[in-house]
């Protein structure tokens, strides 16, 4: 700011708006049309950190991860044309997971706009679908105001704001009194009302139910104790969506896991038989396509977002409330219930499933499988470890074998399910939580998409443990093709030695292909990652994880030959069909299964 002229550079004012909202870092790659913003970042380098990524997609994915991890807005930028369009994958990830992200997109200077000049185009339509706020700045004076507006809209609508900035505008001076930030006015929404009559209705229906389930989602974060207390009092098994994994400790004796394909056997078993569902803080995206709730007689829902009430199923009681407060009130209004046959059958089924997982995780002979790798990961983590997961089999396997507590953080691309998010997310995690242990977990398919940004971890000295599960295939898609196609096409590829990729970028790299080597290598990696990033490339078998959405265990439905073949393939000799536990405890069944809900 100049005292003589009482002006401020518009670009610097823009960056100061970001700083006022608590933005301390942002991601991007410079280019001609964004260089005025780079100039402002250079002048403000002591107050905001620029993170140079090697692909704008990685920057946008990392910005989305910032928002998922902290609740604070993530910021990424790209230059005009391809720099901006490269952001789209990360922006759509943010949109689908409803987190606030700001994208700054360069544009040719105002004198060349609408003239078909180099990399100049009408950018606004490109971002119209992904953004809740999408504008092109037309004057230098409005630039800081529009950035402030964009941030407020992103927070208010839990989505993406995109601002296109002609390159000449941030270089101009504007009156110093012409701008301000509204950051000091920002407040998070608080809803403390719980309708007692609705809570009593839910308590009464749950108490009278014969086969009830509590089905919770990420809207119950921070309410693990309340979920457990209601489960204990009314003897109701608990299940969750996959993103809600870790709200209760994994292998909890009342936890069925999640349903459908990225799932656990007990959850699919129970969901097909349930008569009453308490659906809380959840937006299960496979509900309609899998007919997940077709056998349910009473559907009860609690959500803080009114747009979610009744979205996935006709609702008998719909409560607009904070999950933690609502669960606490329902528990208070409920009377202690004795153990029921349904409760006992489910607890035995959970125990049997957990024994199966434990067995395959602790195998010491045969080919190296992903299961033993997760056991090695669990052995070096702690209660504060953060896991950034890519998309594919890594989700299915982490869901079953990664052991989390509520104090851990575990995140991925939940609804958009974009491959390549593991490494970018780990960068964001380490920047936001420098004192916590951070992992990126990726398949070789996802890692290959973004492996260039391993060097970003090195460049900014971000001690991250990167684990790549290599089996030269898109395993998740290959398994889909097994079920739906006439053969396989496009699912296998040539090997990449990621340990050498890491080494070429100045990162310690290991390659493991034997179960017996896991313990030593992971212990070494843990020590290295106290000071610098490290990568472990594990060569796992191409074995398909057991398809819990299509189990062949029940002798009433499958032949002895089919059951034997299934058990042999998945090392599942000790798995027991849920029907046996239901019969044991005299639970009447509906003899139904839910659909797979795939493509």
Q: What are phi and psi of 520, to 5 degrees?
A: -65, -45
Count Cβ atoms below 10 Å from residue 327 Cβ, excluding itself.
Answer: 29
Indicate the SS3 state at residue 363: coil
Round to whole Å and give the CA distance between 73 and 101: 5
- The answer to whether position 358 is within a domain reads no
- The answer to whether position 594 is within a domain reads no
pLDDT of residue 590: 76
Residues 92 and 145 reside in one and the same domain: yes
- The answer to whether position 263 is within a domain reads yes
Q: What are the residue ranges of helices labelled H in 129-262?
A: 143-157, 196-208, 224-234
pLDDT of residue 598: 56
Residues 520 and 412 reside in one and the same domain: yes
Domain count, the chain: 3
- The answer to whether residues 235 and 339 touch, using CB atoms and an 8 Å cutoff, is yes
Round to whole Å and give the CA distance between 100 and 183: 14
Q: What angle do CA 421, 423, 426 make, to 5 degrees?
A: 100
- The answer to whether residues 68 and 201 touch, using CB atoms and an 8 Å cutoff, is no
Residues 226 and 176 reside in one and the same domain: no
Among candidate residues 288, 323, 340, the one where a domain is terminated: 340
Round to whole Å and give the CA distance between 84 and 79: 6
Among candidate residues 325, 340, 355, the one where a domain is terminated: 340
- The answer to whether position 46 is within a domain reads yes
Residues 208 and 181 reside in one and the same domain: no
Residues 206 and 335 reside in one and the same domain: yes
Catalytic residues: 56, 118-119, 261, 391, 476-477, 480
As given in the structure block, the two tokens for residue 196 are 């007692």
Closest C-alpha to 399, from 353, 456, 438: 353
Round to whole Å and give the CA distance between 579 and 554: 7
Residues 386 and 512 reside in one and the same domain: yes
Residues 265 and 151 reside in one and the same domain: no
Closest C-alpha to 83, from 196, 191, 167: 167
Residues 224 and 326 reside in one and the same domain: yes
- The answer to whether position 563 is within a domain reads no
- The answer to whether position 586 is within a domain reads no
In the Cβ-directed half-sphere of 368, how many Cα atoms lie within 13 Å?
20
Number of helices and strands in the chain (H, E):
23, 19
- The answer to whether position 273 is within a domain reads yes
**What's 476's domain CATH number?**
3.40.50.970
Residue 389 pairs in a beta bridge with 441
Q: What is the pTM of this model?
A: 0.96
Quote the crossing angle between the two packed helices 143-157 and 10-20, to the nearest 10°.
Answer: 30
Residue 299 pairs in a beta bridge with 277
Round to whole Å and give the CA distance between 138 and 47: 27
Give the containing element (helix H, strand E) for 278. strand 276-280
pLDDT of residue 593: 65
- The answer to whether position 277 is within a domain reads yes
- The answer to whether residues 73 and 154 touch, using CB atoms and an 8 Å cutoff, is yes
Q: What are the residue ranges of helices labelled H in 469-535?
A: 475-484, 498-504, 518-528
Residues 228 and 130 reside in one and the same domain: no
Indicate the SS3 state at residue 13: helix
**What's 277's domain CATH number?**
3.40.50.1220
Residues 245 and 114 reside in one and the same domain: no
Residues 321 and 435 reside in one and the same domain: no
Closest C-alpha to 13, from 186, 151, 177, 184: 177
Expressed as residue numbers, the domain containing 102 is 7-185
pLDDT in tens, the chain (599 residues): 445 569 999 999 999 999 999 999 999 999 999 999 999 999 999 999 999 999 999 999 999 999 999 999 999 999 999 999 999 999 999 999 999 999 999 999 988 878 788 887 889 999 999 999 999 999 999 999 999 999 999 999 999 999 999 999 999 999 999 999 999 999 988 999 999 999 999 999 999 999 999 999 999 999 999 999 999 999 999 999 999 999 999 999 999 999 999 999 999 999 999 999 999 999 988 888 888 898 899 999 999 999 999 999 999 999 999 999 999 999 999 999 999 999 999 999 999 999 999 999 999 999 999 999 999 999 999 999 999 999 999 999 999 999 999 999 999 999 999 999 999 999 999 999 999 999 999 999 999 999 999 999 999 999 999 999 999 999 999 999 999 999 999 999 999 999 999 999 999 999 999 999 999 999 999 999 999 999 999 999 999 999 999 999 999 999 999 999 999 999 999 999 999 999 999 998 876 666 666 55
Count Cβ atoms below 10 Å from residue 335 Cβ, excluding itself.
Answer: 9
Among candidate residues 340, 355, 378, the one where a domain is terminated: 340
Count Cβ atoms below 10 Å from residue 545 Cβ, excluding itself.
Answer: 21
Q: How do the residues of the chain divide into helix, strand and coil, expressed in percent and rounded to 5?
A: 40, 15, 40
Residues 144 and 260 reside in one and the same domain: no
Query: In the block, which residue shows the tokens 């974009």?
Result: 418
Round to whole Å and give the CA distance between 353 and 577: 10
């Amino acid at each position: 700011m100049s005292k003589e002229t009482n002006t401020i550079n518009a670009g610097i004012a823009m960056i100061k708006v970001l700083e006022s909202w608590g933005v301390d870092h942002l991601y991007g790659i410079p280019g001609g049309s964004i260089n005025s913003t780079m100039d402002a970042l250079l002048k403000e380098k002591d107050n905001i950190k620029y993170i140079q990524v090697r692909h704008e997609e990685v920057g946008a994915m990392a910005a989305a991860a910032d928002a998922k991890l902290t609740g604070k807005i993530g910021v990424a930028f790209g230059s005009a044309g391809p720099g901006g369009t490269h952001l789209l994958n990360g922006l759509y990830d943010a949109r689908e997971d409803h987190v606030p992200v700001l994208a700054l997109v360069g544009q040719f200077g105002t004198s060349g706009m609408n003239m078909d000049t180099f990399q100049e185009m009408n950018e606004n339509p490109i971002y119209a679908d992904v953004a809740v706020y999408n504008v092109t700045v037309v004057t230098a004076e409005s630039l800081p105001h529009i950035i402030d507006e964009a941030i407020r809209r992103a927070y208010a609508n839990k989505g993406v704001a995109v601002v296109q900035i002609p390159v000449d505008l941030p270089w101009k001076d504007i009156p110093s009194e012409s701008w301000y930030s509204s950051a000091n006015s920002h407040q998070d929404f608080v809803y403390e009302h719980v309708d007692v009559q609705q809570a009593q209705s839910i308590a009464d229906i749950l108490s009278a139910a014969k086969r009830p389930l509590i089905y919770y989602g990420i809207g119950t974060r921070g309410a693990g104790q309340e979920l457990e207390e209601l489960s204990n009092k009314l003897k109701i098994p608990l299940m969750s969506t996959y993103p809600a994994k870790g709200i209760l400790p994994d292998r909890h004796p009342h936890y069925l896991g999640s349903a459908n394909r990225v799932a656990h056997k007990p959850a699919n078993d129970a969901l097909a038989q349930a008569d009453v569902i308490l659906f809380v803080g959840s937006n299960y995206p496979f509900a309609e396509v899998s007919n997940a709730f077709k056998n349910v007689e009473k559907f009860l829902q609690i959500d803080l977002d009114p747009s979610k009430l009744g979205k996935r199923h006709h609702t008998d009681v719909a409560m607009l409330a904070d999950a933690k407060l609502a669960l606490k009130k329902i528990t208070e209004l409920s009377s202690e219930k004795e153990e029921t046959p349904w409760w006992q059958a489910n607890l035995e089924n959970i125990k049997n499933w957990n024994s199966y997982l434990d067995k395959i995780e602790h195998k010491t002979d045969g080919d190296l499988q992903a299961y033993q790798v997760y056991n090695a990961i669990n052995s070096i983590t702690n209660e504060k470890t953060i896991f950034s997961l890519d998309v594919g089999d890594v989700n299915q396997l982490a869901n079953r074998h990664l052991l989390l507590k509520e104090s851990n953080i575990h995140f991925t691309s939940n609804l958009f399910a974009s491959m390549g998010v593991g490494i970018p997310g780990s960068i964001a995690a380490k920047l936001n939580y420098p004192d916590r242990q951070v992992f990126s977990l990726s398949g070789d398919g996802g890692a290959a998409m973004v492996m260039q940004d391993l060097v970003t971890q090195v460049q900014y000295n971000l001690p991250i443990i990167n684990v790549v599960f290599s089996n030269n295939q898109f395993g998740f898609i290959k398994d889909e093709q097994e079920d739906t196609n006439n053969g396989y096409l496009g699912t296998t590829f040539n090997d990449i030695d990621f340990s050498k990729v890491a080494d070429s970028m100045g990162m310690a790299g290991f390659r493991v292909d034997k179960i017996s080597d896991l313990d030593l290598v992971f212990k070494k990696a843990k020590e290295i990652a106290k000071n610098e990033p490290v990568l472990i490339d594990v060569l796992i078998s191409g074995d398909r994880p057991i398809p819990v959405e299509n189990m062949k265990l029940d002798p009433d439905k499958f032949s002895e030959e089919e059951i034997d073949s299934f058990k042999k393939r998945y090392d599942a000799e000790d798995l027991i069909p849920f029907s046996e536990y239901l019969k044991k405890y005299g639970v009447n069944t509906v003899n139904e299964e839910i659909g797979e809900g795939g493509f």
